[in-house]
Amino acid sequence: WLYYRTFKRETAGLEHTCVYTIVSKNQPKENVYEFVQEHTLGRGKTRTKIRMTLYATPYKTEKHSTERENNNAMRASQNKGAEDGKKYQLIYSDYNKCDILRILYQTNGHACHLYHHNNTVDDGVPQECERVYGNACGNGHPSYTQQVYYSWCKENMESTI
């Protein structure tokens, strides 16, 4: 689940809420991951669910001091094998509860997403994840924790999770 991010996203004046991603098993094929992303527009009783299939191609960002052994970023697109797409960089993962992505195409690469895993999302953000997100993504700035996940999100999406 996308728990919060450093910016608001809207379509036709309706806020994107309850964003989650399901990655297909047995991956990758040709170094491309297939995943489904779903979200709702709005918060009221008339919420609209949006679902799309996306494809992510992992890559390594430029080295800073030593050569990277593993991919640390991805390019996501609605078209499999696309050469363009939205770029994201993994900046932290505890591999159990949360992941933090830098959104390289938004606000000169300073925007962030904090994802919280489904099995612990209702427990709140783990302290270490909150600390890293704050340090990397603008702790104290009014927009740094734009809420995306709400307690009612699972009810709205539970048929597909």
Which CATH number characterizes residue 36's domain? 2.40.128.20
Confidence of residue 68 (pLDDT cuts 50, 70, 90): confident
Confidence of residue 143 (pLDDT cuts 50, 70, 90): confident
With a cut of 60, say whether residue 10 has pLDDT above it. Answer: yes
When comparing pLDDT for 64 and 100, which is higher? Answer: 100
34-66 pLDDT per residue, tens: 999 999 998 877 788 999 999 999 999 887 778
Q: What total number of domains does the chain contain? A: 1
71-80 pLDDT per residue, tens: 899 999 999 8
Q: Which of 16-25, 93-102, 150-159 has the lowest mean pLDDT?
A: 150-159
**From CA 119, how far away is CA 135, in angstroms rounded?**
25
Model confidence, pTM: 0.89
Domain that holds residue 70: 2-157
Stretch 9-29: mean pLDDT: 86
With a cut of 70, say whether residue 158 has pLDDT above it. Answer: no
Mean pLDDT for all residues in the chain: 88
**From CA 98, how far away is CA 128, in angstroms rounded?**
10
Locate the DSSP E strands across the chain: 2-5, 10-11, 14-23, 33-41, 48-59, 73-77, 86-93, 98-103, 111-116, 146-147
Give pLDDT, residue 157.
67
**From CA 69, how far away is CA 87, in angstroms rounded?**
19
Confidence of residue 141 (pLDDT cuts 50, 70, 90): confident
Stretch 107-123: mean pLDDT: 92
